[in-house]
């Protein structure tokens, strides 16, 4: 049995040294998959409880390395240190505690009873896929890969993490911290490189691929995996919206939207990119939001674009909005790949590229609506469906509205992005935003396949089944009785019907010849 390491990771090298070591120990995709396949049977043979005990030290390890990890994230990704701690590292600790607390209950076996087969008993079990390749993005370089890797490991899989080539050092530190629990050689591996390496890993035929990133790359991942086929989980983009109803508190709501549209420099799939405001509040909302966006400290609180390509998308969307005659407030290019938060409005805003395509920057567009029905139609007129936020003094009205939105997660009187830090809540979208879930019990269940084991309640062998050969009119009559019983609306009627069908089936055994 694999046992936890006795030495903490506090003495392990900093990310820069880890990155240097990566190049010296690179393996081919085939080698990584082979190594994972050799390691997984031992790890997967442990009970869920045993794997939980091995990983039990992980929350403490993460806490002890909080500052070190925050420095690594800020150095490599550029986001404010406060965001690294609040948006990634503390949520990672919370996610670990949640998964460790519920894993045995969620992944443990359960009995299944069937009234149509009372002489049998069945057990539902969960089996790890085997080798999972996790392909992660750069925008939350610690928390997103962590949320991909941890449930897969707890479920008994071996995992190969392929982070963005822009943030390999953070991923190396992540692997280092988890490995300090003592997983065993090859159970968790790091594979660094660009998209070509991701393609090679899929070609090496793992048992599942989980991917977080752009829609364009997600399509390539899905197409590559479909050739074998390999199951995939995808969390892709979003053009997420906030809906501001006519009874919303303007001060509270504009503060929420100002943060939700710009945290991490707007580089989050759950950033608020569209705001739907009731006509009665539209002008006042616009003025107050504009003022709050102007007052954001762009040096202290706003993350820069990860690279020049991302920054170019921001300014392309802003320029296209200006060319459409829309009003653009802010958006000036700043030093060090920063952009002043931008607010776009105007009667034709819903026709602009910024309304329908993901900007992934500190840019937010505002449109007005007249009724709840208009808000639902305007919100759902998109190919994406990751998150949404609704602001209203009437939470009953807001909950009813939420159930009509095509979004995987809806938050009322908060920014839906906050939900990603809540480990108990399943996270994922619909449409072009992908499928599959991370966080909550669904994350653990997405890392396994279901096996049902059916066995007799009584003696190992009994009489042959009456629906085996030979067929005859008696079988049709008995099945018709059974179908009538199953369809009966009242439990007592069903119970009586099962009894009659059982009697008919048993009677057939004495009259049928042996075959």
The catalytic residues are 235, 269
* Both structure tokens of 8: 């903490």
For the beta sheet containing 208-212, the strands, ordered from the edge strand earlier in sequence to the opposite edge, are: 188-190, 158-162, 131-135, 208-212, 232-235, 434-435
Other Cβ atoms less than 10 A from the Cβ of 364: the count is 27
Q: Which of 483, 490, 503, 384 is closest to 433 using CA atoms?
A: 384
Name the H helices within 342-439: 353-356, 372-380, 395-402
* Both structure tokens of 36: 């994972």
Name the H helices within 162-214: 168-179, 195-203
Rounded-to-integer distance, Cα 290 and Cα 321, Å = 17
**Which of the 8 DSSP states describes residue 290?**
H
Which runs of E-coded beta strand occur in 119-157? 120-128, 131-135
Other Cβ atoms less than 10 A from the Cβ of 185: the count is 12
Q: Is the dihedral of CA 268, 274, 276, 279 positive or negative?
A: positive
Rounded-to-integer distance, Cα 311 and Cα 173, Å = 27
Contact 277, 369 (CB under 8 A): yes
């Amino acid at each position: 049995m694999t046992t936890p390491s006795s030495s903490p990771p506090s003495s392990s090298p900093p990310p820069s040294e880890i990155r240097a070591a990566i190049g010296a120990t690179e393996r081919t995709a085939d080698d990584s998959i082979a190594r994972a396949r050799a390691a997984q049977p031992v790890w997967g043979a442990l009970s869920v409880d045993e794997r939980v005990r091995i990983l039990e030290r992980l929350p403490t390890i993460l806490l002890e390395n909080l500052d070190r990890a925050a420095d690594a994230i800020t150095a490599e990704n550029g986001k404010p240190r406060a965001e690294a701690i609040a948006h990634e590292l503390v949520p990672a600790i919370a996610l670990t505690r949640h998964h460790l607390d519920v894993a045995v209950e969620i992944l443990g076996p359960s009995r299944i009873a069937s009234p149509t087969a009372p002489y049998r008993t069945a057990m539902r079990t969960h089996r790890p896929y085997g080798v999972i390749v996790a392909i992660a993005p750069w925008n939350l370089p610690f928390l997103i890969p962590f949320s991909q890797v941890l449930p897969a490991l707890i479920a008994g899989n071996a995992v190969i993490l392929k982070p963005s080539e822009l943030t390999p050092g953070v991923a190396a530190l992540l692997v280092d911290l988890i490995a300090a629990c003592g997983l065993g050689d090859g159970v968790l591996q790091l594979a660094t490189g660009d998209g070509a390496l991701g393609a090679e890993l899929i070609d090496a035929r793992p048992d599942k691929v989980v991917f977080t990133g752009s829609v364009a790359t997600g399509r390539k991942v899905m197409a590559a995996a479909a050739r074998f086929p390999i199951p995939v989980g995808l969390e892709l983009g979003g053009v997420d919206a906030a809906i501001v109803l006519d009874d919303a508190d303007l001060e509270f709501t504009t503060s929420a939207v100002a943060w939700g549209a710009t945290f991490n420099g707007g580089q989050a799939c759950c950033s608020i990119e569209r705001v739907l405001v009731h006509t009665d509040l539209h002008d006042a909302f616009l003025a107050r939001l504009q003022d709050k966006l102007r007052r954001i400290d762009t040096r202290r609180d706003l993350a820069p674009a990860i690279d020049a390509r991302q920054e170019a998308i921001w300014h392309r969307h802003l320029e296209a909005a200006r060319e459409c005659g829309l009003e653009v407030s802010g958006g000036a290019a700043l030093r060090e790949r920063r952009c002043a938060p931008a607010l776009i409005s105007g009667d034709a805003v819903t026709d602009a590229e910024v309304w329908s395509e993901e900007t992934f920057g500190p840019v937010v567009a505002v449109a007005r609506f007249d009724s709840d029905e208009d808000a639902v139609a305007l919100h759902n007129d998109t190919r994406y469906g990751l998150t949404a936020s609704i602001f209203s003094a009437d939470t009953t009205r807001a909950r009813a509205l939420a159930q009509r939105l095509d979004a995987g997660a809806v938050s009322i009187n908060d920014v839906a992005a906050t939900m990603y830090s809540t480990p108990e809540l399943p996270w994922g979208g619909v449409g072009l935003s992908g499928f599959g879930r991370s966080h909550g019990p669904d994350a653990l269940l997405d890392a396994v396949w279901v096996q049902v084991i059916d066995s007799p309640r009584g003696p190992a062998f009994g009489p042959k089944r009456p629906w085996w050969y030979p067929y005859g009119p008696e079988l049709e009559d008995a099945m018709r009785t059974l179908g009538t019983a199953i369809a009966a609306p009242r439990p007592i009627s069903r119970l009586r019907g099962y009894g009659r069908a059982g009697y008919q089936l048993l009677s057939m055994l004495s009259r049928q010849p042996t075959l």
